Structure 1
Amino acid sequence: MGRSSSSKNEETKQDDSNDEEEEEELELLQVDVGDVIKLKQILDETTSAAVLEFQKEDFRLDNMKLAIMTLACLFACLAQFAPIPFPDSRPVLGICCCIYFVLSGVLQAIVTFLDKDCILITKPTDARAQKSNPNLHQYGIRVRTDLPRFSEYYKVILEFEKMPNTVKVVQTWSVGNFFDVDGYFDEIGMTEAVQGLYKRLEKGEYDKDEDVATPPEGSAKSKKE
């Protein structure tokens, strides 16, 4: 009897802890649906996580941006803390400021012309592990997203990085498919939707430009149901 009562108590405690974990998770995944920046951040993070279940991230471009930022900060520190009294330090200050602004310009150019709407770049897969689509082990995947201002439609584009005239798969969803009126986020549903898009890329079921269009209201929701 003592054992059975203790086991029941343990089960009750375990159920309570599971309920608390679920409540905490819901709190973490709630967002103000009027905050478009936060909304897109959550969608982008979920999209990246869904793709990374199949691929490994390529950090080279991010590392290059970090190196440029670090170098710019070093020149800023040199200008600030150089052990040369003013006004003798004017040439050093001028050189450091010029280099800082040049590096900042290079960084901004990378963000504007290379990153664009890209949120993730992956490495090519191992040819032995991926045989269904040869492009996957020849090129990495470039994940692009878009959520226009005042629009309810979130677009995800999967294409091949550095592939000339790259083929791609595109899908557009209404954010209402994954957020309710209180701002609670259906992470599982979003993950499954993005993984379904990835499977299309894996099978080589590419979209043509004329096939890519914003679905009418309710169409994406009906597919989900």
Structure 2
Amino acid sequence: MATDGGGGGGASPPAAKKKANLLDPYSIKHLLDDTVSDVVKSKGYTEDTRLSNRKLVLGAAVIAVALLAQFYRVKFPQNRDVLLVCIAIFVVLNVVQQIVSYTKEKNAILFAHPPAGSFNRTGLVISSKLPTLSDMYTLAIANAGPLSKSSSEPVHFTKSVTKWFSKDGVLVEGLFWKDVEKLIDDYNSEHRSK
């Protein structure tokens, strides 16, 4: 297990202790993902919410169609055609929402715009994995526009979560911040070398 370490190379992590249930991989992943978001934002990146906003609009459209089907003024036998159209639209919108999640989001935990003053026009996609019966956490940083001329190779690391947590389940943020900051710096140096 990790021991208490110093702060990260850039901005220091918050003073409050973050704790996870070490028997729950979802709790561990959620805590690590939240901390990754904090580190990325401390490096000058801002969150890109365009995809989540589009998903919210799709969800609102699905709800509107369901409400129309439920509260249409005409009762059942006469509103059969309206119900069939609503069901078809409902299914199509849900399929579109699943396709967007599967193709765009994948394992992404954060989409970020480039920092202010950066020459890069595309942001970052930060994704993570923590398999259910494993302690190996994988964090990856890729370009949000992989077909862009300015895109660089994705970078990633895979490490055991035991390196960042004490026996009590407290996250040793200094160690984790250093690893995440190093990964961001590796990505940026790869980008500069191109």
**1:158 partnered with 2:144:** no
Aligned to 1:145: 128
Structure with higher helix content? 1
**1:60 partnered with 2:50:** yes
Moved over 3 A (4+): none
Matches within 5 A, 1:168-179: 168-179=154-165
**1:51 partnered with 2:40:** yes
Aligned to 1:180: 166
* Structure 1 residues 166 and 101, CA gap change in structure 2 (3 angstroms): farther
What RMSD over aligned residues (CA atoms) do the two structures have, in Å?
1.9
C-alpha distance in 2 between matches for 1:166 and 1:70: 36
C-alpha distance in 2 between matches for 1:181 and 1:108: 39
User: What one-letter code is carried by the residue in structure 2 that aligns with 1:117?
Assistant: N
Q: Of residues 197, 200, 204 in structure 1, which corresponds to 2:190?
A: 204
User: What one-letter code is carried by the residue in structure 2 that aligns with 1:167?
Assistant: E
Aligned to 1:3: none
Q: Of residues 162, 178, 187 in structure 2, which corresponds to 1:192?
A: 178
C-alpha distance in 2 between matches for 1:138 and 1:78: 42
The answer to whether the 8 A contact 1:169-1:205 is kept is no
**Cα displacement (A) at 1:115:** 0.7
> Structure 1 vs Structure 2: percent identity of aligned residues?
28
Matches within 5 A, 1:1-225: 25-26=16-17, 29-53=18-42, 54-126=44-116, 129-130=117-118, 134=119, 137-164=120-147, 166-204=152-190
The answer to whether the 8 A contact 2:153-2:190 is kept is no
Higher-Rg member (1/2)? 1
Structure 1 segments unaligned to the other structure (5+ residues):
1-21, 207-225
C-alpha distance in 2 between matches for 1:187 and 1:103: 41
1:26-49: per-residue Cα shift (whole Å, max 9, x none)?
A: 4xx222111111211111111111
**What is the TM-score when the length of structure 2 is the normalising length?**
0.82
C-alpha distance in 2 between matches for 1:139 and 1:48: 18
C-alpha distance in 2 between matches for 1:205 and 1:182: 39
1:82-124: per-residue Cα shift (whole Å, max 9, x none)?
A: 1111211111111111111111111111111211111111113
**Cα displacement (A) at 1:166:** 4.4
The answer to whether the 8 A contact 1:33-1:39 is kept is yes
C-alpha distance in 2 between matches for 1:100 and 1:34: 39
**What is the TM-score when the length of structure 1 is the normalising length?**
0.71
**What is the aligned residue count?**
174
Structure 2 segments unaligned to the other structure (5+ residues):
1-14
C-alpha distance in 1 between matches for 2:128 and 2:74: 49
Question: Which structure exhibits the higher relative contact order, with contacts defined as CA atoms closer than 8 Å and separated by 6 or more residues?
Answer: 2
Using the TM superposition, name which of 64-73 and 80-89 deviates more.
80-89
